[in-house]
Structure 1
Amino acid sequence: MPPLVANIFHVLKDAEKDGRFMSTPEVHRELCRSLPDPPVVKTVQRTLQKLLDEQLVESEKRGTALVWRKRAGAGGVAARSASLMTREQALALQTLKRFSSRQIPSLVAESLSSLFDIAEMRLGASHNDSERRYRKWVDKVEVESGGFALQHPAIDATLFAVVTRALFYEQKLDVVYRVRSKADQEKTRILDPLGLVEVGGVVYLVAAMAGYDKPAMYRLDRLVSASMLPEAFAYPPEFSLAEYVKAQRQFDFMVEGAIPVELHFFNGAGNHLLESPLSDDQVAQPTVAGLNVKGTVLLSKRLRWWLRSFGPNVEVLGPAALRDEMAAEARALAALYAEKP
């Protein structure tokens, strides 16, 4: 940031703190007090006008003159970055703000909030068609889940902030957790927060607890209360959140181990597996009736949910135990829909 801009920012009052407006001569007088070689009033006026064009300051007209103050969100790191921020960087920040998952720690989000504001202002100050293309880009991109859309459970913002701060500072959490599987019982637990994971719009805290060998998952929307304790904990060096999620597949729910499966798809139901394989060792073979697919997968609740989603368009050929299980479910489903007298 140019020295004069930095000095003017230091002098101006902040709208975020309900600071008052200052006239150009008043800004100039403050600069004269603090700088050994202050600029002339006209230079201050031109610089303030440039900052107004860049949406970093706001102004009002008092009589025939303009008065100035810092725009809310234009202080700190944003102020230092604003004059150097390119439109490509502003676009990247706006895209991050729009499409980032909500498990981004609130502590980090708060630190970035002023940068997000500056990025929005930077893109908003468009003077020609080339610049306006950047402003319109964010509105040309959307993200949509491939699954059936459910309403995501609400998470208390205050509790979320407490959890993410404890995770950031590696301090213990005292929580009251509502256990759905036990008649909505509420249990108090002291946790060591290890990570946050979002699965299908539901946010989980992965945490360790004294007396248990393995970390467990806690849905944040089921937290009744949470407070960060002054006691720090040693983050286990052997724990990897990526390993927990991607290799151990803990969010596949009740993983029972790897199994070789053989599936036969009908009516084109499995054709997407030709581009998105179900495993590294997948072998797919077209047949007269459809598509035969073999591969090694983890037997879990999620695998069963996925198989059920195809209805009569998939047949489990193996292993025998999984085939028997799916066949029993099919018979039960058929009985449920059978015509009743």
Structure 2
Amino acid sequence: MGTQRDTLFRYLTMLQLIPRAPQFKATTTLQALLEERGFSVELRSIQRDLEKMSLHFPLQCDKRERPYRWSFDTNFKSGLPALDTATALTLVLAEEYLQSLLPRMAVDRLGPQFDSARRFLDGLQQNGYADWARRVRAIPDGKALLPAPIRAEVWQGISDALLNRQAVDVCYLSRQKGDIRQYTLHPQGLVARHSVSYLLATVNDYDDIRQFALHRIQTLAITDIAFRPQPDFCVDAYIREGGFDYPLNEESVQLVARISPDLAWRLSETPLSEQQQLSAPGEDGRITLTATIHNDQQTLWWLTGFGARVEVIEPLSWRRALAEQARQLHDMYRDSGDT
């Protein structure tokens, strides 16, 4: 009984390791991954096991070269484990949210899971869920731009290079120069920001981290050049230190602003920072917001979007910047011809 149980666990583990086509795993790779998980098995036994399982699962074997390479059929949809209502609704919300954040081919990778969730909910019509599709939405906070289109081979190549710690040769469309440049990149991180996905990498023989928008990568190929790791690099630290926030400087500032009651209510539920205080309403109904925040351009842009609902008192440099912007807007629209 113990041997049969171990074999069953090995089969289940092996099925979890096999990717969906066009990706694949060689039998030698599967053997190494199984050993990492505590299963010691000969290569010939793995091949026999896979051939047996292919009678019951849509497994594909590429025998054009050795070791043989295995994958699931592209359209294979696993039903394990069984879904429940809460998980299915969460997956539907996740799909809607991710569609405004990640490139299409990245969301498509989860297509079978999303399809399973929709089918599960569709199957509950007799239980009062017939109109679930009209009752579930995920909407972005603010204007969501369409994700920049990325070539499928670029997304796959960058994903593999990042996880396998490989350098890549790319042809990259430079936004500043307006021409295509050739680089050898050493991937260190990947960040999805709004509708653009960025590769964080060092270039050629340099050590500084630079950002490369994936949709501007025209071609990509694994290079023979040795990968140059950055052991001390941390994506969280890079972001925290202003890598994506266009910092004004590295210090924090105390924001003091008089804000409208509706915005105050919103910030009472979703604070601007952990160090935030909201006063009682003044005679004009406005509330004074006090918060310690990063001195970055992103927050200043965020405040600009509220227009007259926010009056910045401190820092003085921010107040002056917003006043100057208001003056420019006034001058721009003053001669619009409206009466």
> For residues 267 and 310 of structure 2, what CA distance do their matches in structure 1 show?
13
Q: Which structure: larger Rg?
A: 1
Counterpart of 2:200? 206
Equivalent in the alignment of 2:243? 250
Counterpart Cα distance in 2 of 1:336 and 1:308: 16
Deviation at 1:340, TM superposition (A): 6.7
SS in 2 for 1:181: coil
State the identity %. 24
Do the aligned partners of 1:163 and 1:228 also contact (CA within 8 Å) in 2?
Answer: no
Supply the distance in 2 between the matched residues of 1:118 and 1:325 (Cα, whole angstroms): 49
- Is 1:332–2:328 an aligned residue pair? yes
* Contact 2:264/2:278 (<8 A) preserved: no
| Distance across 2 between alignment mates of 1:320 and 1:173 | 46
- Aligned runs of 1:97-116 on 2, under 5 Å? 98=95, 101=98, 116=113
Shift of 1:175: 1.7
Alignment of 1:163-182 (within 5 A): 163-182=158-177
Pairwise mapping of residues 209-228 of structure 1 onto structure 2 (< 5 A)? Answer: 209-210=203-204, 212-228=206-222
**In 2, Cα distance between equivalents of 1:96 and 1:206:** 28
- TM-score, normalised to structure 2's length? 0.64
SS at match of 2:148: coil
TM superposition shift of 1:172:
0.7
State the partner residue of 2:145.
150
The answer on whether the counterparts of 2:103 and 2:147 sit within 8 Å (CA) in structure 1 is no
Displacement, 1:254? 3.7
Question: Which residue of 228, 231, 235 corresponds with 1:237?
Answer: 231
State the SS of the aligned residue for 1:329. Answer: helix
The match for 1:322 is 318
**Structure 1 unaligned residues grouped into runs of 5+:** 7-15, 18-33, 35-47, 58-70
The alpha-carbon deviation at position 248 of structure 1 amounts to: 2.4
Unaligned runs of 5+ in 2: 12-20, 23-47, 49-54, 59-71
Q: Cα offset for 1:276?
A: 1.3
Indicate conservation of the 8 Å contact 2:313/2:319, yes or no.
yes
Aligned to 1:279: 273
* Contact kept? 1:282, 1:296, Cα under 8 Å: yes
Task: Label 1:337 to 1:267 Cα distance change in 2 as closer, same or farther (>3 A).
Answer: farther
Task: Report the CA distance shift for 1:287/1:108 in structure 2 as closer, same or farther (over 3 A).
Answer: closer
What's the TM-score once normalised by structure 1's chain length?
0.64
Which position in structure 2 is the counterpart of 1:39?
Answer: none
- For 1:1-341, list aligned pairs within 5 A: 82=79, 85-88=81-84, 91=88, 95=92, 98=95, 101=98, 116=113, 119=116, 123=120, 126=123, 129=126, 140-182=135-177, 184-210=178-204, 212-233=206-227, 235-245=229-239, 247-257=240-250, 258-266=252-260, 268-285=262-279, 286-289=281-284, 290-339=286-335
Cα offset, 1:232, TM superposition? 4.6
- The answer (yes or no) to whether the contact 1:105–1:164 under 8 Å persists in 2 is no
Aligned length: 271
Deviations 1:194-220 (A, max 9, x none): 222111121111222355454222111
